[in-house]
A and B are shown apart, each in its own frame.
Chain A
C-alpha cells in the first residue's frame, strides 16, 4: 500500500465521520452565539440517534420504507428542537447555571435513549440506513472523486450547510439578533429585540441540528444504535466551537481535523500496526484537551455574554 492510498483511505473514513461533529458544532455555535453554553448537546445527539434508528427500524418492513430515513431524521430533529426548548426553559427562563443544566440534559437524553432502546429493541440490530449517492461525473475523478463525492445525502447537505449557516449568522436579521443577544443582551433589549425569544429560537435551532447530527450517527455512520453511540461527540462538538472561533468555516476545519484523528485509530488497526488500540481511541479526547489549552491564549474572543443568564430586572 502506498502512502497515497493510506492517506486516501484515512480521508475516505475521516470525512464522512466529520458530518455528525460538524452538524452538532454548528448547532452549538448558534447556541453560543446567542450566549447559551449548551453542554446537553451529547444528550440531544443521543436522543436523535435513537429516534433516527427507531424510525428506520420500525418502518423497514412497511410501505413507508422509501421515507423511513427521512422520517427518522425529521423525528430526530424535532425531538432535538424540543430538548433545546427544554434547555431554554431551564437556562433562559429560570436562569439556571448552564454548565450543570447541560450535564442534567445530557443524563436525561442519554438515559431516555438507553431506556427506550433496551425496552423496544434490546440487542444489536442493524438498519439499512442512508446509502451512498455518488455524484455523477465528479465521483469519477481519480483519487479525489471517491473520497469527496461518494457520500450520503445528509453528508452533502451538512457540508452545504456550512456556507448557509455563515450566511444566516452574518447576513440575515435573525443572525444579527442572535449575535446581539449573545454579545450585549441589554443593548439588544433596548433596541426592542426580544432577548429571551431569540435565545429560545437559537436553542431550538441548535437542538434541531444536534438531533440531526445524532440521526446521522445511527443512520449514516454506524447503521445501528448502542447506548454509547455518541461517545462524547456532543462534548467534542462544544470544544470544537471554541476551537472554531464561533465561525462556521473554522468549525468545518476543526471537525475535519478531529474526525481524521478518529479515523487514524481505525487505520492503525487496519494496517495492523502493533499499538494498543485503547491509546488510539484516547487520541481524539487528548487532542480536545490540548486544543483547548492552546486556543485559549490566541483565539479571538467569543460572545462576551456567553454563559451569563440575562435578567431584565437586574440593576446595573
Chain B
C-alpha cells in the first residue's frame, strides 16, 4: 500500500475511534439532559483559562505520568498491572511512615528517603501479584484487582487505627487521617499560592530515564521482548518469568512513588481517598500515550485537563464528576479497537481496494508505528508477501 493511502487509513480509523469515544460520552450527556457541546467545551477549555486551572492540571498530571510510566513498563513486558490504585495507597502509607519515624532528618536526606519508602511500598505490594503470575501463573489482572480492594481496606484500617492523628482522637472527630508530615519531608511548591510542586520535574526526569531504560539498555530490550513474544524470548535464553516479575515490581514502585509524591507535595498527610482514581486513569494515560514516555507526558496533560474539567463541570453545570470515568472507559475501548484495526493488514488492504481502487499489492506494514505486541501479525504479512 502506498504511503498516502496508509496515512489516510490511519487518520480515518483514528478519527472514527475518536468520534466513537466522544459519541459514547455524548449519549450519556444527552441522557443527563446536558448541552453536549457546551459540556465538552467547558471540560476542555475551562481548566486552561487561568493560572489556577493550569497549575491544577499540572498537579494532576504528576501522578498520572508516574503511574502511567510504570504501567507502560508492565504492559510492554506483557503483564497487565491494574493494581496501581492499591500500590499508590501502599506508597502513601509507607512514605508517611518513613516521614513520621524520622522527622528530624535534614530535608536533603528525608525527602529522597520518603520517596524511596513510597516506591518500596508500592513495589512490595505489586510483587505479590508479580510472584503469583511468575511462579503460579495466576492471572495478574484478577490478582491486582483483588489486591486493590485489599489495599483499600488495609489503608482504611491503618488510617482509622494505628496511624490516626492522635489529635483526631482527642477532639473526638475521628477523621481518618494521619498526623501532618514534618516540614522537612515536604516537596516544595514552585508557585506560591498554587499547588504546583517540584514533583512535576521529577516526573519528567523519570520519563526520560524510563525511555533510556526501555529503549537503550539490554534490560529494557529483554522486557519488551518478553512482552512481544514470550516463546521466542524464552528460546533466546531470557528468563521470561523474571522479566514479568521485575516489570511488575517496577510498575508498583512507580505507582508507590506517585503516592509518595501526592502525600508529601499535595496533601502533606495521609487522608482517605488520596489516590482518587489515579491508578485507573494511569492505565488510560499509558494506553493513550502509546505506552511510550514521549506520548505519556502529553497524554497525562490531556487527561489532567479532563480531570480538572470534569471537576469544573460538576461545579458549573452540575454534571457529576464520574463523567470522567465514562470518558476514560470509552477512550480505552476505542483506542485498543483502533490500534488493532490500524495494524490489521487485511483490513487495510480491503480499505485500499474498496475505497481507493488502488491496485497496489499489500506491501506489509513496514515496521514503523507497529507496537511490539503485534509482532505476530508482522510475520503473517511477511508470509503473505512470500506467497504472493
Instruction: Sort chain A's interface into a size bin.
Output: 35 or more
Q: B346 within 8 Å of A by Cβ?
A: yes
A95-115 residues at the B interface, CB under 8 angstroms: 95-97, 99-112, 114-115
Q: Are B147's CB and A289's CB within 8 A? A: yes
CB A295 to nearest CB in B, in angstroms, measures 9
Q: Which residues of B contact A314 (CB under 8 A)?
A: 380
Q: Which residues of B contact A102 (CB under 8 A)?
A: 141
Q: Which residues of A contact B139 (CB under 8 A)?
A: 242, 292
Q: Identify A289's interface contact among B143, B160, B319, B330, CB under 8 A.
A: B143
CB B349 to nearest CB in A, in angstroms, measures 10
Q: Identify B150's interface contact among A112, A119, A231, A286, CB under 8 A.
A: A286
B31-83 residues at the A interface, CB under 8 angstroms: 31-32, 80, 82
How far does the alpha carbon of A269 sit from the alpha carbon of B217 in the complex, in Å? 54
Q: A235 within 8 Å of B by Cβ?
A: yes
Q: Are A235's CB and B142's CB within 8 A? A: yes
Q: Are B157's CB and A108's CB within 8 A? A: no
How far does the alpha carbon of A235 sit from the alpha carbon of B146 in the complex, in Å? 8
Q: Are B142's CB and A111's CB within 8 A? A: no
Q: Which residues of B contact A136 (CB under 8 A)?
A: none
B296-350 residues at the A interface, CB under 8 angstroms: 318-320, 322-333, 336-337, 339-341, 344, 346
How far does the alpha carbon of A292 sit from the alpha carbon of B138 in the complex, in Å? 6
How far does the alpha carbon of A109 sit from the alpha carbon of B28 in the complex, in Å? 11
How far does the alpha carbon of A299 sit from the alpha carbon of B194 in the complex, in Å? 56
How far does the alpha carbon of A258 sit from the alpha carbon of B114 in the complex, in Å? 39
Q: Are A118's CB and B157's CB within 8 A? A: no
B132 nearest in chain A by CB position = A293
Q: Which residues of A contact B161 (CB under 8 A)?
A: 276
Q: Are B150's CB and A282's CB within 8 A? A: yes
Q: A90 within 8 Å of B by Cβ?
A: yes
Q: B201 within 8 Å of A by Cβ?
A: no
CB B18 to nearest CB in A, in angstroms, measures 15
How far does the alpha carbon of A9 sit from the alpha carbon of B28 in the complex, in Å? 42
CB A10 to nearest CB in B, in angstroms, measures 21
Q: A268 within 8 Å of B by Cβ?
A: no
A227 nearest in chain B by CB position = B322
Q: Which residues of A contact B147 (CB under 8 A)?
A: 285, 289
A216-241 residues at the B interface, CB under 8 angstroms: 227, 231-232, 235-236, 238-239
Q: Which residues of B contact A90 (CB under 8 A)?
A: 333, 336-337
Q: Are B28's CB and A105's CB within 8 A? A: no
Q: B163 within 8 Å of A by Cβ?
A: no
Q: A289-315, CB under 8 A of B: which get 1 and which 0?
A: 100110011000000000000000111
Q: Number of B residues whose C-beta is below 8 Å from A?
A: 56
Q: Which residues of A contact B146 (CB under 8 A)?
A: 232, 235-236, 239, 285-286, 288-289
Q: B219 within 8 Å of A by Cβ?
A: no
CB B126 to nearest CB in A, in angstroms, measures 13
Q: A39 within 8 Å of B by Cβ?
A: yes
Q: B346-388, CB under 8 A of A: which get 1 and which 0?
A: 1000000000000000000000000001000000100110000
Q: Are B143's CB and A107's CB within 8 A? A: no
Q: Identify A96's interface contact among B80, B280, B337, CB under 8 A.
A: B337
Given A115-B32, A116-B32, A103 contacting B132 (CB threshold 8 A): no
Given A90-B337, A95-B344, A112-B28, A103 contacting B138 (CB threshold 8 A): no
Q: Which residues of A contact B337 (CB under 8 A)?
A: 89-90, 94, 96
Q: Are B145's CB and A108's CB within 8 A? A: no
Q: B24 within 8 Å of A by Cβ?
A: yes
Q: Are B138's CB and A105's CB within 8 A? A: no
CB A203 to nearest CB in B, in angstroms, measures 14
Q: Identify B153's interface contact among A96, A238, A278, A315, CB under 8 A.
A: A278
Kindly name the residue among A276, A281, A282 whose own CB sees the greatest number of chain B CB atoms within 10 A.
A282
Q: B136 within 8 Å of A by Cβ?
A: yes
A100 nearest in chain B by CB position = B336
Q: Which residues of A contact B136 (CB under 8 A)?
A: 293, 296-297
A120 nearest in chain B by CB position = B32
Q: Are B24's CB and A108's CB within 8 A? A: yes
Q: A43 within 8 Å of B by Cβ?
A: yes
How far does the alpha carbon of A45 sit from the alpha carbon of B320 in the complex, in Å? 20
CB A246 to nearest CB in B, in angstroms, measures 14
Given A104-B333, A289-B146, A289-B147, A278 contacting B157 (CB threshold 8 A): yes
Q: A69-84, CB under 8 A of B: which get 1 and which 0?
A: 0000000000000000
CB A76 to nearest CB in B, in angstroms, measures 16
B32 nearest in chain A by CB position = A119
Q: B196 within 8 Å of A by Cβ?
A: no
Given A119-B32, A313-B346, A107 contacting B325 (CB threshold 8 A): yes
Known: A96-B340, A115-B326. 15 other contacts (CB 8 A): A39-B141, A94-B337, A95-B344, A100-B283, A103-B280, A104-B330, A111-B326, A111-B327, A115-B325, A116-B31, A235-B145, A236-B146, A238-B142, A239-B146, A285-B147
Pairs A-B, 6 closest by C-beta atoms:
A111-B325, A108-B329, A104-B332, A107-B329, A278-B157, A118-B320
A-B contact pairs, 10 of them (CB 8 A): A43-B329, A103-B283, A104-B336, A107-B284, A111-B327, A115-B326, A231-B149, A239-B146, A278-B160, A292-B138
A residues whose Cβ falls under 8 Å from a Cβ of B: 39, 43, 86, 89-90, 94-97, 99-112, 114-116, 118-119, 227, 231-232, 235-236, 238-239, 242, 276, 278-279, 281-282, 285-286, 288-289, 292-293, 296-297, 313-315
